[in-house]
Amino acid sequence: MENDLNQIVRNGQGKRAIEVALAGDHSVGFVGHLNAFRLNEFANRIGLKSHYTTQCPCGFWEYQTWNCQCPIEDIKLWEKNNNFIATVTSDIVIFTDENLPQFAIENWRPEKEEQLSNITNRIARNRQDISDEVDDSGLLDAAIKNSRILEAYRPVIIAVAKTVAEISSWDSKGKITQAAVAEAITYRPRSTQFLISDEEIAELYLPLLTK
């Protein structure tokens, strides 16, 4: 019962990300504070390759109720540390909304009699046979151009989109649909979300993406 996805409440995006990662054996990274920490804790418990980091040394970046006191240069250095890099280069990256109500310990108890094995069995039972062909790459091309997503992320996005298409209920006609690509794009960080430059991102992140 400890590994029941129904333990995750008030964070639907995090729950969905874990389900996709579980279905496709993708790595997952959580960026935030307490909500990110607990999602990462859960992901590790069910055997996913998972990472966690805060967005700054103090952890209160973009909080509504707490003011981040970190100097800009300290945040830039933080974004260059190995754990931060490992987190944001995961196949699926979630920036948790720390202004949502935080997880309470009692909310981590399962709400339904559904084991992890039942979840994986359900995924396998409903899985569609999807090729590596993208129905229309225009959406992905535009996202890379306009959202400042690194081109090197393209194969990662396609791999995650394939998993999304495989486990989704819509008829994908054997291809990776635009809807699946759109969801996979939401799991990618934009370079505009960081303080370090695009050049520094490429220098630090690309070697990890090509491993």
> Is it the case that residue 28 has pLDDT exceeding 90?
yes
Clarify whether residues 69 and 153 are in a common domain: no
Lowest pLDDT segment from 13-22, 44-53, 65-74, 117-126: 117-126
- Domain end point (choices 92, 126, 160): 126
**DSSP label of 112:** S
Strands of 92-95's sheet in order across: 50-53, 28-31, 92-95
Clarify whether residues 46 and 134 are in a common domain: no
Predicted model pTM: 0.81
Q: Give dist(CA 14, CA 22) in Å, integer.
A: 12
Clarify whether residues 133 and 111 are in a common domain: no
Q: How confident is the model at residue 107 (pLDDT cuts 50, 70, 90)?
A: very low
pLDDT tens-digit readout, 142-182: 888 887 788 888 899 999 999 998 888 676 678 888 889 99
Clarify whether residues 149 and 195 are in a common domain: yes
Percent of the chain predicted with pLDDT > 90: 18
- Domain end point (choices 82, 100, 126): 126
When divided into structural domains, the chain yields a total of: 2
- 94 lies in which domain range? 1-126
Where does residue 73 rank: exposed (0-12), middle (13-18), buried (19+ CB within 10 A)?
A: exposed
Clarify whether residues 11 and 108 are in a common domain: yes
